[in-house]
Amino acid sequence: MNRVQNEEEYSYLQHVYQNAPFGVAVITVRGEWVQANPALTRILGYSWEELQQQRFERLIYREDLETNLSQVKMLIQNYPEQTSVEIEGRYIRKDERTVWAAVHISIMPDAEGNPEHYIVVLNDISHTKAAEQKLQETVERYTSLKRYNHDAIISLDLNGNILNANTRAEQMTGCKVSEMAGRSIARFIGERNLQRVLKEALNNPTVEQDIKTLRHKDGHMVEVITTLAPIIINNKNVGFYIIAKDFTEQRQLIMAKELAESTNKAKSEFLAMMSHEIRTPMNGVIGMTDLLETTTDLDDEQKEYIEIIRKSGETLLAIINDILDFSKVEAGMTELQEDMFDLKQCIQETFDMVSAKASAKQLEMSFTVEDDIPEMLFGDPKRIKQVLMNLVGNAVKFTLHGGITVNVRKVFEEDELIDLEFKVSDTGIGIPDNKLEAIFEPFSQVDNFMTRNYEGTGLGLAISKKLVNVMGGHIWVEKKEGPGTTFVFTVLLKNRQEPEHANSCEQKETSDTDPLNILIAEDNEINQIVLRKMLEKQGHAVTVVTNGHDVLRAAENTTYDIIFMDVQMPGMNGLETTRKLRATLPKDSCPMIVAVTANALKEDRDICLGAGMDEYISKPVKSQPVLAVLEQVKRKVGSRR
């Protein structure tokens, strides 16, 4: 009976041994395999025969080997007081994949009670370890996010007691986490807000908007923007996160931005006012000088005096324009106007403007454009000409003998973009090395003696640098031995060929003698005389009024071809008058309206055109722009008639 029972028990144990999901092995204390069940061979990826060729310690992951062997050694030393040990570690499969396993090792003694075999039970815990690692990564990401977040993060239970908080919360409340933990959040947000959070937060997202401050430990309130987030675990709400952003710094930034915008607006308004106030009397000086030179017979002495007045007026106007240009660039108000243009023609027109001064000094002027540069380019020719005019004008000013050259080469071309390099060289007095860094600074000039001997505001190079930067380039001075200076600048243009005609840097208009019926709206008597005389000398019929109301009455009774409209007039300004004219007169009988204003900023032109005006002339008024506008008007009037 006992034999049968023993056989049944053995059969039962053998079945368990063969079908257990965990590995079981018997190994001698010398590390030799005695037997192993199928689960162990499956976990390690070896057949029983292959496993017998391996020593057990060679299957242990290298970094875990020392720890495992030391624990087994301690087990042997402490036997029989210690009969087993549990080890968690990594093992290397036959396919070199790593297996995490929880291993239980116990000692099987021989007949005399000495350790003879190890019974090893190995359970694959790779999936558990992977889950633990993912959980740990999630916890670490959350901890890092919470710890290093710029916003305060405070976690609450459903009673409103603080569970945890991050470093930023400590800074905003003045309390350590240990001081906050277990205490009610009402201490920082108020009891009323806490009750609303607990009762309404899940269904009313506007609750967070009422939490606008956090109370600091010292009593002062910190302005915050608050977000509430429920803590959901197993589909159950177990608490809330309060995330508070310190609004103090952001409010200061907003205030600083508003102040900067206000300052820029005040600066623009001041520039517009100063432009108007200075240009209005300048209109009388330059306009009347222009009339005297072109419409009266003068003897040589009178011509000399008039020439001095004209040059002085133009010099003052150039200074005003420099200051306005620099202020516009500084305020970021410079915009590029892209057109097709002829690069060689643009350079030639720049030379034409300084040719008289260069000829008086007997200076030679020349330019070259490399053959691989397209004849027609797409960009802002007026800005390029402005930079060239500053550099070439300086070269003529500071060169007594020799000449000035401009060379243009292509730096690179990619798709439509083409980068050009301009070199403006002269044989003048040169620039000392210690002054090279300062010459592009506003109001900077090379030396005190130059301020006494040469005209200028010292703004030309500063303006050029800003304009070149706006056009995607750079400007610098090449160092060289001996006299002379070479300025280099680059600009980014487009090689986009279009069928339309290119714009030159200057568009010349021709006047026509066909008489027009013209209305002048101007409240300043001197400006009235200047513009009226210019128009009457061309044979046109001219009527003058002083305010917007008179313009409306005149336009109702008489048909005019063109109205020269001052923008700033008493009673009703030019913009409002223009809008009313456009709204009341039939389109086919509404005259052309030209703004005549001392405001010279680009946005002033945009405002005038936006109000319905057709063209814009800046004071001081000269004959050439007036004639150009008249030519445009005559073409349109002719086609209308």
Domain 2-125: CATH class, spelled out: alpha beta
Pair of tokens at residue 595: 């703004």
pLDDT of the residue at 511: 43
pLDDT of the residue at 308: 77
Pair of tokens at residue 350: 């720049």
Give which of 439, 432, 376, 428 is closest to 401, Cα–Cα: 428
Whole-angstrom CA distances from 253 to 259, 267, 526 are: 10, 21, 48
Residue 543 to residue 71: CA distance in whole angstroms: 113
pLDDT of the residue at 451: 42
**Residue 4 CB-half CA count within 13 A:** 1
DSSP letters for 302-365: HHHHHHHHHHHHHHHHHHHHHHHHHHHHHTT------EEEEHHHHHHHHHHHHHHHHHHTT-EE
Which CATH superfamily hosts domain 517-640? Response regulator (3.40.50.2300)
Which of the residues in the chain have pLDDT under 70? 1-5, 143-148, 267-269, 271-276, 279-280, 315, 318-319, 322-335, 442-458, 497-514, 599-603, 636-641
* Domain 131-250 identical in fold to domain 339-494: no
In whole numbers, what is the pLDDT of the chain averaged over residues? 83
Residue 111 to residue 397: CA distance in whole angstroms: 117
- The total of other beta-carbon atoms located within 10 Å of residue 469's CB is 15
DSSP letters for 120-147: EEEEE-HHHHHHHHHHHHHHHHHHHHHH
For the chain, domain boundaries:
2-125, 131-250, 339-494, 517-640
CATH topology of domain 339-494: Heat Shock Protein 90 (3.30.565)
- Tokens 């302005």 belong to 223
Are 485 and 412 in contact by the 8 Å Cβ rule? The answer is no
Which CATH superfamily hosts domain 131-250? PAS domain (3.30.450.20)
- Preceding amide of 620 cis, omega within 30: yes
214: left (phi over 0), alpha (psi -120 to 50) or beta: beta
pTM above 0.85, yes or no: no
Whole-angstrom CA distances from 10 to 20, 111, 214, 360 are: 15, 21, 73, 125
User: What are 539-565's pLDDT values in tens digits?
Assistant: 889 999 999 999 999 988 888 989 999
What's the distance, Cα to Cα, between the start and end of the chain in Å? Answer: 135
pLDDT of the residue at 601: 57
Alpha helix segments (H runs only) across 471-585: 525-537, 548-557, 574-584
Over the range 392-414, which residues count as b (16 or more CB within 10 Å of their CB) and which as e? bbbbbbbbeebbbbbbbebeeee
